[in-house]
C-alpha cells in the first residue's frame, strides 16, 4: 500500500498563475549518458495573480546543476529544491532566470519528457511531461515564445527538430552539430517538442487558401521510407478540409510529422511538429489493414486540426481538456465522414461510445466531460473527455445548424486566439453567435452519467393523432447523487404501414411538416402530439444517434424487423438490427436449453447477405453481431460465460443456415485488383472477411480452403490478416499453427505487423489461450518497454478476449494483476490504463466479482504504488 495518499486537485481551487513567462530560450546538449538542458526564462509577475508570492516552478526527476537570477548565481539558502519543485522566495517583478538541469533520457521508461526510442531522442510533454525536462510553471495557461537549440553528435543524429522554423544551424567540435528553432506563436509548454535521430525525410508541399506555400516534411526511420504516402496525403486533405469547412488556415511555414515506435498514446499535436506512434501513421497495402488506413487518416487529421482547436486556442487548465479534445474529435469525425461512408463512420463511433464510454459512465471512474477533480491527469484522457465530449459538440452542431455552428466557431477562434480558455467560453461563443441561451445545455459538461430516455406512445384512431412521451433520468455517479434534466436534441421520424416516411405535423404548429424533426427535450417529462395520421406509425427514435443517451421503448421484434428494412435513416436501420439481435441473444441466455434462433433473424440476415443492391458499407456493419463487450455493458450483472455461449449459439445457427449465401457473398466480393482504401473496396473486403470468419466458425471445408488460398495469395494486409484471424479462431489445428508461423516468418522485421500477429492470438476466444498468451510474453519480439507490444498482448487479451479473461478460475485476473504490478514501476500511465477491465467488478455476476476484486486488492497492496494506478484502483474499490 502507498504510504501517503496522493493529493486531489480541484477545479474550484483554480487561481491565475502568479508568474508569466514571456520567452523561453532552450539549449539541449544531447549525449549517450544523459542530456544537459540550459533554460533561460524571461519571467514577469502576473498583474492579475498573487502579489508577493514566491516563485515556484515544477520539476520531476531533475538534477539541478546551475541557477542564476539576472546573471547572478543564487546562494543555496535563497532557494529550495524538492522532488517536485524549485522554489525561490525573493524575486523581483521582472527578471531572467537561467537554469541548467541534467536528465537521463536513456533510462526514461515512463515515456514522459525527453526519452529515447529506437535510438532517437524524442519528447512527450502533454500533460505534465515538460517538468521532466526543466523547471517550469508547467500549466497550460502559461504561454510563452520558445526558441530551441539542439546539439548532438552529427553522425548519430543528423536530423535535429523542434517547433517552428529552423533559423540557424552549424558545426561544433567533436563531430557535433546544432540546429536552432524559433516558434513565433506563444504556446503552453505541453506543446513543446524535440526530435533528434537518423531519419529519412519525405517532402511535400501544400498551398493554403491565401496562396502561401507550406513545406510538409515527414520523418521516419529509413526502413519505413515507403510507408509515408498515405499520411502525407491525409494531411493535405485535412488542411484543405479545415479551410473549406472551418475557414482555418495553417500558420507556420513548415509542418512536420515524426513517427516513433515507443509512444504511450496515438499521437501528439506539438506545434508544427506532430509526433506519432508508428502504428498510427505508417501504412502500406501489404502491411496495414483497412482499419489501420482509416485510423491513420483520422489521427493525422485530428492532430492537424488541433493546430487551431488546441494550440492557437488552448485550455486554461486540465479540467478543460475536452475543450480541445471533444471539439477536435468532433472535427476529425466530420472529416472522416466527408472522406468515406458517413453512415458506417457514425455506426463505428456510436458502437465505441455505447460500449466503452457508457461503461465508463456507469462505473467507479465516471466523471463529467468537465471533471471537478483528479489525482493524476493522465488518467483523464478518457472516452468521456474525447468521445462524449465530441458528442456534446455534435449536439451543439445539431441545435445551431451547420451555419449557426460555423458562426459560433468563427467567433470562438476570433475572440480567443492566443488565449487559454474554458469550455464555458466555447459555449458562450455559440450562444453569442446564435442569440441563444444555452444555460441548460451546459449541464452536459457538469453532470456525469448517461441519461436514460424512456419513450412511450399512444395512437388515437378517431382523432388521427399520435402521442410520444419522453421521460429522462440520469443515474447517480460517484460524488453526484442528484441530477437535473439535460437539454437533449432528439431526432425522430414516423414510418407508415408501407414503409413510407410520414410528415411530422405537430398539433398547434402551423409550419410545414418535415419528415424528420429534432425535438428538444429540456424537462423531465415532455409530450409531443402529431396529427393527420390514419394508422398507427412506427417511430424511428434518436435518428443518427442525435444525443449520447440510452433509449428505452418497448419495440416488438416485428417493429425492429420493419425498421431494419424501411427506416430512411441508415443508422437506425443498423440500430434496429442490433436491438433485435441483442433481444434474441438475451432470450437464449434466459433459457439455455432453447436451441432455435428466431427464424425471422435468419431471414433478415439472408436478405442482407444476398441483396447486392443494398448499401454494402451499411450491410457489412449490420452483419456484425453485437459484441460481447456491448452485451456485458447492457447486463445488470454480467455473466460472461453465458453471454459468450448465447452469442456463439446465434452465430453458429446463422452460419449453418446461411452457409450457401456466405459462400456466394464471399465469391461476389472477391477482388483481385490493386489495393485502394476507398469506402466501397473497404466495405467489400469487410463483407468477404466476415463471410469467411463465419464459415470457419462452423468448420466448413470449403471455407477452409478459401481461407488458406486467401492467406497465401493476398495482395493486401486486410485480406491476409482476415484469413489468418479466421484460421486462428477455427478448429483447424494444423492450419492455425502453420499460418501463424508463415505469417511471422514473412513479417518478423516489421514491428507493426508483429503487433497484429500478437493481438490476433491474444484476442482469440479459443480455449486455453491464457497459456498461449503467457508464451507470447516470452517471445523474442515482445518488449516490456514498448507500449504497443504490451497493448497487443496484454491489452488485447484483457480487453477483447473476454471469455478467457473472465475464466471461471480467476486465472485471467491474476495474470493481469501480476503484469500491472510489474509495469507500475516502469510505465505507470500504461499500467493504469490496463486496470480498466477490472474496474467495473460490481457490475459482474457473483462468479466473477470476487476474483476481480481480489486482483484489485492485490494491486493496491503494492508498496509505493504509482499515483496513476493508485487513483484507478482506489476509486474502483471505494464505496
Ligand atoms: N493530445 C493528444 C491527442 O489527443 C493525446 C495525448 C495525450 C498524447 C497525452 C500524449 C499524451 O491528440
Ligand atoms: Zn487530441
Is 570 exposed, middle or buried (CB count within 10 Å of its CB: 0-12, 13-18, 19+)? buried
- Ligand 1 centre distance from Cα of residue 298 (Å): 14
Q: Evaluate if residue 470 carries a pLDDT over 90.
A: yes
Q: Which residues pair with 113 in a beta bridge?
A: 124
pLDDT given at position 511: 87
Say what the pLDDT of residue 799 is. 98
| CA angle, residues 492, 498, 500, in degrees to nearest 5 | 40
- Enumerate residues 6+ apart whose C-beta is below 8 A from 257: 216, 217, 218, 219, 231, 232, 235, 274, 275, 276, 281, 300
CA–CA separation, 467 and 583 (whole Å)? 26
Assess contact for 536 and 459: CB atoms under 8 A.
yes
What is the CA(270)–ligand 2 centre distance, in A? 10
> What cell numbers appear for 89 in the block?
522566495
Any residues with CB less than 8 A from the CB of 694 and at least 6 apart, and which? 651, 654, 655, 658, 662, 703
Ligand 2 centre to CA of 303 (Å) is: 6
| Ligand with minimal distance to 324 CA | 2
pLDDT, tens digit, 9 for 90 and up, residues 47-106: 988 788 999 999 999 999 999 999 999 999 999 999 999 999 999 999 999 999 999 999
Q: What is the pLDDT of residue 544?
A: 98
pLDDT at 2 over 80: no
> What percent of the chain shows pLDDT beyond 70?
100
For residue 120, report the distance from its CA to the centre of ligand 1, in Å. 20
**Ligand 1 atom 7: residue of nearest CA:** 126
CB contact burial 464-489 (16+ within 10 A = b; e otherwise): ebbebebbbebbebeebeebebbbbb
To test the pocket of ligand 1, the residue of 190, 381, 382 to mutate (highest count of ligand atoms within 8 Å of its CB) is: 381
Q: Which residues, in sequence order, are CB contacts of 616 under 8 Å at separation 6+?
A: 680, 683, 684, 687
Strands (DSSP E) contained in 689-788 are none
Query: Which protein residues are within 6 Å of ligand 1, measured from CB?
Result: 124, 126-127, 264-265, 267-269, 302-303, 325, 381
What end-to-end distance do the CA atoms of the chain give, in Å? 18
Q: What is the pLDDT of residue 310?
A: 98
- Looking at residue 329, its pLDDT comes to 99
Give the torsion sign (CA, 595, 599, 600, 601). Answer: positive
Cell of 568: 430512411
Q: Is 142 helix (H, G, I), strand (E, B) or coil?
A: coil
Q: What is the pLDDT of residues 208-251, one digit of tens each?
A: 999 999 999 999 999 999 999 999 999 999 999 999 999 999 99
Instruction: Assess whether pLDDT exceeds 80 at residue 507.
Output: yes
675-699 b/e (C-beta count within 10 Å ≥ 16 → b):
bebebebbbbbbbbbbbbbbbbbbe
In whole angstroms, what is the distance from residue 203 CA to residue 220 CA? 12
The CA-based angle 694-699-700, given to 5 degrees, is 80
Q: What is the rounded average pLDDT of the residues 609-638?
A: 97
- Ligand 1 atom closest to the Cα of residue 306 is 12
Mean pLDDT, to the nearest integer, of 158-167? 98
- Please list the active-site residues: 303
Average pLDDT, the chain: 97
Rounded-to-integer distance, Cα 151 and Cα 160, Å: 8
Tens of pLDDT along 372-429?
999 999 999 999 999 999 999 999 999 999 999 999 999 999 999 999 999 999 999 9
pLDDT value at residue 510: 87
Is the predicted pLDDT of residue 592 greater than 80, yes or no? no
Considering only the C-alpha atoms of the chain, give the largest distance between any 2 of them, rounded to a whole number of Å. 95
Phi-psi region of 479 (alpha: psi -120 to 50; beta: other; left: phi over 0): left
What number does the ligand 1 atom closest to the CA of 310 have?
1
What pTM was estimated for this model as a whole?
0.99
pLDDT, tens digit, for every residue of 705-761?
A: 999 999 999 999 999 999 999 999 999 999 999 999 999 999 999 999 999 999 999
CB atoms within 10 A of CB 646: 23
Q: Tell how far the Cα of 140 is from the centroid of ligand 2, in angstroms.
A: 15
* Predicted confidence (pLDDT) at residue 768 exceeds the cutoff of 80: no
Closest CA to 351 of 140, 548, 96: 548
Segments of 372-451 assigned E as strands: 373-374, 420-421
Number of residues in the chain = 879
| Cα separation values, 661 from 658, 691, 851, Å | 5, 9, 43
187/119 Cα distance (integer angstroms): 28
The one-character DSSP state at 191 is G
Tell whether the model's pLDDT for residue 129 goes beyond 90: yes
Ligand 1 probe mutation, 267, 280, 382, 788, most atoms within 8 A of CB: 267
Residue of minimum CA distance from atom 2 in ligand 1: 268
Distance of CA 316 to the CA centre of its chain: 22
H and E: helices and strands count for the chain? 30, 32
CA distance 465 to 653: 42
Q: In 319-388, where does DSSP find H-type helix?
A: 321-339, 342-352, 358-361, 383
Q: Which among 579, 517, 529 is positioned nearest to 554, based on CA atoms?
A: 579
Calculate mean pLDDT across residues 604-610: 97
| Ligand 1 atom nearest to 303, measured from its CA | 12
The three-point CA angle 575-356-444 to 5° equals 85
- pLDDT of 504 above 80: yes
The H-or-E segment that residue 315 falls in is strand 314-315
- Ligand 1 pocket test, pick from 266, 306, 329, 333 with the greatest ligand atom count within 8 Å of Cβ, gives 266
Ligand number nearest to the C-alpha of 326? 2
> How much is the pLDDT for 117?
96
Residue with CA closest to ligand 1 atom 9: 126
Which residues face 24 on adjacent strands? 41, 146
| For the CA of 386, the nearest atom of ligand 1 | 4
What is the rounded distance in angstroms from the CA atom of residue 283 to the CA atom of residue 835? Answer: 30
* pLDDT the model gives residue 50: 73
pLDDT of 684 reads: 97
Q: How far is the CA of 267 from the centre of ligand 1 (A)?
A: 6
Q: Which of 195, 214, 17 is nearest to 118 (CA)?
A: 195
**From atom 3 of ligand 1, which residue's Cα is the shortest distance away?**
268
In ligand 1, which atom is closest to the CA atom of 325? Answer: 4
Q: What's the mean pLDDT in 17-31?
A: 98
DSSP calls for 445-461:
HH--S--EEEEEEEEET
Amino acid at each position: 500500500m502507498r504510504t501517503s495518499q496522493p493529493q486531489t486537485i480541484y477545479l474550484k481551487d483554480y487561481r491565475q498563475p502568479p508568474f508569466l513567462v514571456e520567452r523561453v530560450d532552450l539549449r539541449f546538449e544531447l549525449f549517450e549518458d544523459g542530456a544537459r538542458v540550459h533554460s533561460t526564462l524571461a519571467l514577469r509577475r502576473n498583474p492579475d495573480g498573487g502579489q508577493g508570492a514566491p516563485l515556484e516552478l515544477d520539476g520531476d526527476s531533475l538534477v539541478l546543476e546551475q541557477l542564476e537570477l539576472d546573471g547572478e548565481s543564487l546562494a543555496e539558502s535563497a532557494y529550495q529544491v524538492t522532488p517536485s519543485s524549485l522554489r525561490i522566495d525573493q524575486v523581483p517583478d521582472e527578471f531572467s532566470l537561467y537554469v541548467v538541469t541534467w536528465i537521463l533520457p536513456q533510462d526514461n521508461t515512463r515515456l514522459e519528457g525527453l526519452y529515447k526510442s529506437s535510438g532517437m531522442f524524442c519528447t512527450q510533454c502533454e500533460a505534465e511531461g515538460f517538468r521532466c525536462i526543466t523547471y517550469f510553471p508547467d500549466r497550460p495557461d502559461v504561454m510563452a515564445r520558445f526558441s530551441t537549440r539542439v546539439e548532438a553528435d552529427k553522425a548519430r543524429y543528423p536530423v535535429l527538430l523542434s517547433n517552428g522554423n529552423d533559423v540557424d544551424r552549424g558545426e561544433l567540435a567533436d563531430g557535433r552539430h546544432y540546429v536552432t528553432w524559433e516558434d513565433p506563436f506563444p504556446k503552453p509548454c505541453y506543446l513543446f517538442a524535440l526530435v533528434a535521430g537518423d531519419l529519412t525525410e519525405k517532402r511535400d508541399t501544400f498551398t493554403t487558401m491565401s496562396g502561401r506555400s507550406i513545406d510538409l516534411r515527414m520523418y521516419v526511420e529509413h526502413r519505413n521510407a515507403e510507408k509515408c504516402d498515405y499520411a502525407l496525403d491525409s494531411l493535405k486533405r485535412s488542411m484543405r478540409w479545415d479551410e473549406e469547412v472551418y475557414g482555418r488556415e495553417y500558420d507556420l511555414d513548415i509542418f512536420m510529422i515524426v513517427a516513433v515506435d515507443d509512444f504511450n498514446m496515438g499521437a501528439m499535436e506539438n506545434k508544427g511538429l506532430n509526433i506519432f506512434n508508428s502504428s498510427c501513421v505508417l501504412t502500406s497495402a501489404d502491411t496495414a489493414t483497412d482499419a489501420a488506413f482509416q485510423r491513420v487518416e483520422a489521427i493525422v487529421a485530428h492532430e492537424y486540426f488541433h493546430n487551431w482547436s488546441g494550440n492557437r486556442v488552448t485550455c486554461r487548465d486540465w479540467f478543460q481538456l475536452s475543450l480541445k479534445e471533444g471539439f477536435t474529435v468532433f472535427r476529425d469525425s466530420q472529416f472522416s465522414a466527408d472522406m468515406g461512408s458517413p453512415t458506417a463512420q457514425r455506426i463505428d463511433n456510436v458502437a465505441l461510445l455505447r460500449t466503452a464510454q457508457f461503461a465508463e459512465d456507469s462505473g467507479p471512474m465516471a466523471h463529467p466531460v468537465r471533471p471537478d477533480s483528479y489525482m493524476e491527469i493522465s488518467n483523464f484522457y478518457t472516452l468521456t473527455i474525447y468521445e462524449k465530449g465530441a458528442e456534446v459538440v455534435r449536439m451543439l452542431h445539431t441545435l445551431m445548424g451547420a451555419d449557426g455552428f460555423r458562426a459560433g466557431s468563427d467567433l470562438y477562434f476570433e475572440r480567443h486566439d492566443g488565449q487559454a480558455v474554458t469550455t464555458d467560453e466555447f459555449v458562450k461563443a455559440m450562444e453569442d453567435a446564435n442569440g441563444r441561451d444555452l444555460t441548460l445545455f451546459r449541464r452536459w459538461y457538469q453532470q456525469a452519467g448517461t441519461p436514460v430516455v424512456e419513450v412511450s406512445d399512444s395512437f388515437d384512431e378517431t382523432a388521427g393523432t399520435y402521442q410520444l412521451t419522453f421521460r429522462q433520468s440520469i443515474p447517480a455517479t460517484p460524488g453526484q447523487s442528484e441530477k437535473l434534466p439535460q437539454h437533449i436534441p432528439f431526432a425522430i421520424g414516423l414510418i407508415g404501414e408501407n414503409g413510407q416516411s410520414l410528415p411530422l405535423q405537430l398539433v398547434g404548429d402551423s409550419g410545414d411538416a418535415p419528415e424528420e424533426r429534432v425535438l428538444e427535450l429540456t424537462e423531465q417529462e415532455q409530450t409531443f402530439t402529431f396529427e393527420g395520421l390514419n394508422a398507427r406509425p412506427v417511430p424511428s427514435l434518436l435518428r443518427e444517434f442525435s444525443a449520447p443517451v440510452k433509449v428505452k421503448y418497448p419495440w416488438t421484434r416485428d417493429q425492429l424487423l420493419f425498421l431494419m428494412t424501411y427506416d430512411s435513416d441508415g443508422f437506425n436501420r443498423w440500430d434496429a438490427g442490433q436491438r433485435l439481435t441483442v433481444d434474441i441473444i438475451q432470450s437464449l441466455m434466459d433459457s439455455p436449453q432453447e436451441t432455435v434462433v428466431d427464424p425471422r433473424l435468419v431471414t433478415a440476415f439472408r436478405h442482407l447477405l444476398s441483396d447486392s443492391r443494398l448499401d454494402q458499407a451499411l450491410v457489412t456493419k449490420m452483419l456484425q453481431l453485437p459484441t460481447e463487450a456491448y452485451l456485458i455493458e447492457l447486463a445488470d450483472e454480467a455473466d460472461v460465460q453465458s453471454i459468450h455461449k448465447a452469442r456463439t449459439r446465434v452465430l453458429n445457427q446463422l452460419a449453418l443456415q446461411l452457409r450457401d449465401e456466405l459462400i456466394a457473398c464471399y465469391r461476389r466480393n472477391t477482388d483481385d485488383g490493386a489495393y485502394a482504401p476507398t469506402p466501397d473496396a473497404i466495405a467489400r473486403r469487410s463483407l468477404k472477411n466476415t463471410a469467411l470468419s463465419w464459415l470457419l466458425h462452423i468448420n466448413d471445408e470449403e471455407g477452409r480452403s478459401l481461407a488458406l488460398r486467401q492467406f497465401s495469395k493476398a495482395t493486401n494486409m486486410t485480406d491476409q490478416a482476415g484469413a489468418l484471424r479466421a484460421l486462428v479462431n477455427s478448429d483447424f489445428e494444423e492450419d492455425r499453427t502453420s499460418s501463424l508461423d508463415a505469417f511471422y516468418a514473412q513479417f518478423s522485421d516489421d514491428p507493426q505487423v508483429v503487433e497484429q500477429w500478437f493481438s490476433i492470438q491474444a484476442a482469440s476466444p479459443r480455449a486455453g489461450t491464457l497459456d498461449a498468451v503467457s508464451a507470447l510474453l516470452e517471445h523474442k519480439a515482445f518488449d516490456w518497454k514498448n507500449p504497443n507490444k504490451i497493448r497487443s498482448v496484454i491489452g488485447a487479451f484483457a480487453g477483447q478476449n473476454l471469455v478467457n479473461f473472465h475464466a471461471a478460475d480467476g486465472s485471467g485476473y491474476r495474470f493481469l494483476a501480476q503484469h500491472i504490478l510489474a509495469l507500475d514501476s516502469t510505465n505507470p500511465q500504461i499500467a493504469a490504463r490496463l486496470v480498466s477491465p477490472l474496474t467495473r467488478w460490481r457490475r459482474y455476476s457473483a462468479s466473477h466479482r470476487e476474483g476481480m476484486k481480489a486482483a484489485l486488492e492485490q494491486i493496491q497492496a503494492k508498496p509505493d504504488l504509482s499515483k496513476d494506478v493508485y487513483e484507478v484502483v482506489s476509486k474502483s474499490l471505494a464505496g
